[in-house]
């Protein structure tokens, strides 16, 4: 664990939503935001609802654009051919390359794909990295078992699963490839106590193997048990 090696360096980020079809209303979210995340730490984004926690997370993933600043992410794994990629202005295929091998994102909801089984959804990140199918399925099975998704469901498409089951499939997918950077947006939101504890363990293990983690956790116990540092986000109107 190298806690002095930065993996994400976001500098002077500014984000304002402009709603063109609602009188060009402007909604400022953050301004002048700096965040550095190091290997092996779990930074908890903290702030009231609507402060922009998810917006920041999505910007780090290249899913939302920022109006100002840069989001540099260390991409390339073993340190020899690595490079810094600015997620705020990199070409789409570069952002996809970062997502393929460097950065995983677990959202609150699973975007189920028709006809694709739970096992394949969890295996996919590994398959994309070139892992062979049997090994990818083995790893996917381990994760699904650990998260108590009954084996009878593995071959089914999760569209009909319960919210908690879908969420656990989603978490298994996010953890299957052991990404160097993990973004977790309320991964424990719809889970029971046992599964919440399992996910908490998995997050801690990921940090121990050296992953740089950014998370939003509603649950205070989870926050305290996985977080190594708090990052406060204040609504921009207060800050200004």
Partner 1 sequence: MNIETTPLLSVQSLGKDYGGKIGCTDVSFDLWPGEVLGIVGESGSGKTTLLNCLSAQFEPSRGKVVYDTRVDGPRNIFDMSESERRLLMRTDWGLVRQNPRDGLRLGVSAGANVGERLMAIGARNYGEIRGVASEWLEKVEIDTNRIDDRPTTFSGGMQQRLQIARNLVTNPRLMFMDEPTGGLDVSVQARLLDLLRGLVTRLGLSAIVVTHDLAVARLLAHRLMVMKDGRVVEQGLTDQVLDDPQHAYTQLLVSSILQP
**Smallest distance, partner 1 to C-beta of residue 190, A:** 19
39 and 106 in contact (C-beta within 8 Å)? no
Select 1 or 18, whichever has its Cβ closest to partner 1.
18
**Smallest distance, partner 1 to C-beta of residue 65, A:** 6
The answer to whether residue 156 forms part of the interface with partner 1 (CB under 8 A) is: no
The answer to whether residue 20 forms part of the interface with partner 1 (CB under 8 A) is: yes
Instruction: Give Cα separations from 1 to 6, 8, 26, 207 (angstroms).
Output: 12, 16, 42, 8
CA angle 204, 145, 157 (to 5 degrees): 110
* Contact set for partner 1, span 88-147 (CB under 8 A): 92-97, 100, 113-116
**Smallest distance, partner 1 to C-beta of residue 17, A:** 8
* Contact set for partner 1, span 169-188 (CB under 8 A): none
Which of 16, 36, 63, 225 touches partner 1 by CB under 8 A?
A: 63
In the complex, the residues that contact partner 1 under the rule CB under 8 A are 17-21, 58, 62-65, 92-97, 100, 113-116
């Amino acid at each position: 664990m190298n806690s002095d090696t930065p993996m994400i360096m976001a500098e002077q980020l500014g984000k304002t939503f402009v709603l063109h079809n609602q009188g060009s209303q402007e909604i400022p979210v953050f301004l002048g935001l700096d965040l550095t995340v190091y290997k092996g730490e779990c930074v908890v984004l903290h702030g009231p609802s609507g402060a922009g926690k998810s917006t920041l997370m999505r910007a780090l993933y290249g899913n939302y654009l920022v109006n100002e600043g840069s989001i540099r992410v260390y991409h390339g794994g073993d340190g020899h051919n690595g490079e810094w990629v600015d997620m705020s202005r990199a070409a789409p295929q570069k952002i996809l390359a970062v997502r393929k091998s460097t950065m995983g994102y677990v959202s609150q909801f699973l975007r189920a794909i028709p006809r694709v089984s739970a096992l394949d959804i969890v295996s996919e990140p590994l398959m994309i990295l070139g892992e062979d199918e049997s090994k990818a399925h083995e790893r996917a099975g381990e994760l699904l078992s650990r998260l108590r998704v009954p084996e009878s469901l593995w071959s089914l498409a999760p569209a009909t699963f319960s919210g908690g089951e879908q969420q656990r499939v989603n978490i298994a997918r996010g953890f299957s490839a052991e990404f160097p950077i993990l973004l977790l947006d309320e991964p424990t939101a719809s889970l029971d106590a046992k599964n919440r504890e399992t996910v908490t363990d998995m997050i801690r293990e990921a940090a121990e193997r050296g992953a740089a983690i950014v998370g939003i956790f509603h649950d205070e116990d989870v926050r305290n048990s996985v977080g190594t540092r708090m990052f406060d986000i204040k609504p921009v109107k207060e800050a200004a």
